[in-house]
Amino acid sequence: MKVSKKKVILAYSGGLDTSVIIPWLKENYDLEVIACCIDVGQGDETNIVKEKAIKSGASKVYVEDVKKEFVENYIFPTLKAGAVYEGKYLLGTSFARPLIAKKLVEAAEKEGAEYIAHGCTGKGNDQVRFELSIKSMRPDIKIIAPWRIWDIKSREDAIDYAEKRGIPVPVTKAKPYSMDRNLWHLSHEGGDLEDTWNEHPADMYLMTTPPEKAPDKPSYVEIGFKKGIPVSINGVFYDPVALLEKLNKIGGENGIGISDMVENRLVGMKSRGVYETPGGTLLYTAHKELEYLTLDRNTMQFKDMAAQKYAQLVYDGLWFTPLKEALDAFVDSTQECVTGVVKLKLYKGLCSSVGSKSPYSLYNKDFATFGEDEVYNQKDSEGFINLFGLPLTVRALMNKKNMEEMLEASSKKAI
């Protein structure tokens, strides 16, 4: 009687790392490898991934389209929170990982697999994001991370390994960028980007027109929101996936959303990445502008502080945690009145708000006008300033009294 091999679910993208992992797992662990490709908007990559995985040695391939779930349950909550990591990174890779991990666990349960494998390096953040997410759901599943244990030490070694086994990979030694693409963004790392003095080449862009080649006339786009969630473009309502695809096209054509940054990785080192987030940049800009119109001062200031913590949690792989759930509840409560329309002006990589309106606007021109009005008694401000400045007044009087006493004491000594 033939004994069935134990199974491993591999997070498979069809890229360099996961392409070589399939034969490596079979050679070193004697496991049945089941590739699992989760479609979060990689584009055409998933069309050929199944055939490629089988040719590389996988016994079975799951290809699951989760773009709608990705947008509604991962992108939109982060957008509503206003979470931006270190002021520049819109978390495109970070919030895709917990969803992929969730689907890997589901596949493992369906197949009765004891292992989950991933292609993350031992220097990166994604290993943490995957494994913490898996532990939060199935702490009993064993994890195999080849980059932490195999003899392959570089992308060049991985390319050689693949070539010897006839495995085609979408990377060459001449242009060894590591790229991660989904519906929200495209990231580029490695290669000549590792020298922070090098200007990144514009020909690397896949989602964005180089700003200098964007149209010479500005474009305008109106984005409508309901309770913090984007729902329309120029008055036309879209489903979440179609909306983001449309905004990616509009933003990309105008050179919007390119970010070149050196960031602090969770594992302790700094790294450089170039991110393309055209539609996401439009959404963040418009959403923030609508909050300026609809949130009171204290709520906005506290939410800005919470957004930094939210961004760190997402970046660090702590999506499925009690604090993240609590922050989501807080954020949702702040978004009840974040409904309205924002008009953006796009020009050669620049994105700015030029108009906003909301039925819940806290802006009242009758109070704010510099012209004559009948609703605001300007004399009232005198009493407000006196009360607001009372601590300053008391401190100044105290200092004056102390100074007078010092001068008086000094005079008596002189006599």
- Does 268 appear as a known binding residue? no
Quote the CA–CA distance of 257 and 90 in Å, as a whole number.
Answer: 10
Would the annotation count 16 as a binding residue? yes
Q: Is 180 a catalytic residue?
A: no
For the beta carbon of residue 388, count every other beta carbon within 10 angstroms.
10
Distance between CA atoms of 329 and 336, rounded to whole angstroms?
A: 11
C-beta separation of 317 from 125 below 8 A: yes
The residue among 289, 278, 284, 303 whose CA lies nearest residue 341 is 289
Identify the active-site residue in 56, 133, 178, 259. 178
Cα–Cα distance between 93 and 41 in angstroms, integer? 12
Q: Is 14 annotated as a binding residue?
A: yes
Is 187 annotated in a binding site? The answer is yes
Q: Is 411 marked within a binding site?
A: no
Is 263 marked within a binding site? yes
| Whether 272 is catalytic | no
Query: Is 94 known to sit in a ligand binding site?
Result: yes
The answer to whether 129 is annotated as binding is yes
Among this protein's residues, is 356 annotated catalytic? no
Count of alpha carbons within 13 angstroms of residue 401, beta-carbon side: 6
Q: Which of 39, 126, 133, 181 is catalytic?
A: 126
How is residue 254 annotated by DSSP? T
| Helical spans, DSSP H, in 67-125 | 67-70, 76-81, 97-111
Nearest CA to 286 among 313, 255, 256, 312? Answer: 256
Check whether 89 is labelled as a binding-site residue: yes
Which of 39, 56, 97, 356 is catalytic? The answer is 97
Is 356 marked as binding a ligand? Answer: no
How far apart (Å, rounded) are the C-alpha atoms in residues 278 and 283?
A: 9
Q: Is 294 annotated as a binding residue?
A: no
> 152: which 2 tokens?
């392959």
The answer to whether 126 is a known ligand-binding residue is yes
Asked if residue 353 belongs to a known ligand binding site, the reply is: no
Q: Which residues are catalytic?
A: 17, 97, 126, 178
Residues tagged in the binding site annotation: 11-19, 89, 94, 119, 121, 125-126, 129, 178, 187, 263, 275
Residues tagged in the binding site annotation for L-citrulline: 89, 94, 125, 129, 178, 187, 263, 275
Residues tagged in the binding site annotation for L-aspartate: 121, 125-126
Residues tagged in the binding site annotation for ATP: 11-19, 119
